[in-house]
Structure 1
């Protein structure tokens, strides 16, 4: 079976965006990375692509290799009309809950764009409140819209780089392996070494790994 080219992979996503742009004018895609981990931030990105400078290979970041994501990350930042990346830390996640923290991060990412879009497409089934423009949720949007796919890559690579830096500071947690997600190894390391300020206490409390007395 012949392997698809980067353009063949991304063409349907760009066609989707072209239809959205024809109906609404300038629009942004928004996505996040890191809602599920036990530690580290959730990272949110907003992106307005330039239709005259396509970035072939864009797709749902989870379907791409780390090497491919890294290459696309730089190309997206170079060619996009505007983009923004926002980190929402564990303290905010613990205070507000992960859903509210993510939604507020999405709103902030849109507000930080240097260009104000007419429309925002958000990956998933809900949109943040308080936006100055219309927003629409797109289920599996990162595999549907090039703009959301680009945002997913910006968010994923940014968060992974953040977690790699934490790994260098706290090698005992082996964060480079699991990026903070709740794996068996990660739980074993938490039991052995305890938690640090970058952990989401609300997540660990639900799992019985942390109480107020600890």
Structure 2
């Protein structure tokens, strides 16, 4: 069972998401929160697998809540909810450790599948939205320089794996491209996250794109 916490300052949005997710046999909304502070408390109380987190909330906003959740021993996959996919807050959230984002206009029939993707540890981003976000990120010279410096600490094989992450490939896809077993790929990804000081593969993939390893 995939346990989900929904955090949005609009009760109607929470109710809508609960209704959609409740139609799946393997997904259960364990709590709702109307601000960031309540979202953090819900995560501590319920230890969910996935948090759907609105970025713009009164009081403690989504970015602040995301930072607090990232410091917890049990860290769920946090997928931010947004109206505009090119919002600067989305890019900041991805860099802060979010596993991806969902537009509030996401079709109900797609939502359940995307929550499952997040629960499995994969990135929740559309290719079109990723391109727009990366275009914004690539304009930030400091971030690009930092990404390139970090590449100097990697082995050639790790650079290949990082490039695949930047293209959004799964572990199976990386293994197929590089002729590696999934277990070997998992090992490379784990070491990459430590070397690059990334919270998850989403951050690593974004870094790869900033460094120019993967096309936007």
Bucket of the pairwise TM-score, normalised by the shorter protein: under 0.3
TM-score normalised per structure 1:
0.25
TM-score normalised per structure 2:
0.25
Which structure is higher in helix share?
2
Larger radius of gyration: 1
**Higher RCO (CA < 8 A, seq sep 6+):** 1
